[in-house]
Amino acid sequence: MIVALMISFAGIAQTPEEKLAQMGITLPPAPNPAANYVNAVRTGNLLFLAGKGPTTPDGKYITGKVGTDLTIEQGYEAAKSVAINQIAVLKHELGDLSKVKRIVKVLGMINSGPDFTDHSKVMNGYSDMMVAVFGEAGKHARASVGMCSLPFGIAVEVEMIVEVED
């Protein structure tokens, strides 16, 4: 069995789960799909994750338009919350986050007004979390786009493609 280990700043090998614990993050249960779809579909070594939104620690959606109702910093934190929710889906699907070989592609959709142009600053919350947990394997190709609305009024929705290994 191949176990991918990550290297911390101190030079001690760490798994993604250990990094999460070191950051004080406990993964929530994988969010249930909101309609007739599944959280993830695997084909070969690629895992396609459905879009997820941001939640508070008590499970409520973080809603509002970034740039109008929410600041860029609040949007960043909302995107970070989505990353944690997506990592929870990965943990549920794979059982072991060390099976993540690479975060390949991320599509971030930001609920914002027509004059908002800092989508990438919001999505940095997601990307920064993926790199913090998966190291170099967390660096990914990404698109950040604005939307006039998102389901349930959520502030951010993100979908991603992940390369996995058994």
pLDDT above 60 for 9 = no
Report the distance separating Cα 130 and Cα 160, nearest Å. 11
Predicted confidence at residue 11, as pLDDT, reads 54
Provide CB contacts within 8 A for 9, sequence distance 6+.
none
Q: Give the mean pLDDT of the chain.
A: 93
Side-chain half-sphere CA neighbours of 17 within 13 A: 12
How confident is residue 155, by pLDDT bands cut at 50, 70 and 90?
A: very high
Report the distance separating Cα 16 and Cα 99, nearest Å. 10
How confident is residue 2, by pLDDT bands cut at 50, 70 and 90?
A: very low
Q: What share of the chain in percent tops pLDDT 90?
A: 87
Predicted confidence at residue 6, as pLDDT, reads 40
Predicted confidence at residue 75, as pLDDT, reads 98
pLDDT above 90 for 12 = no
Please state the rounded mean pLDDT for residues 137-152.
Answer: 98
- pTM, 2 dp: 0.91
Please state the rounded mean pLDDT for residues 9-20.
Answer: 79
Structural domains in the chain plus CATH codes: 6-164 (3.30.1330.40)
pLDDT in tens, 38-70: 999 999 999 999 999 999 989 899 999 999 999
Q: How big is the chain, counted in residues?
A: 166
More confident residue, 53 or 12: 53
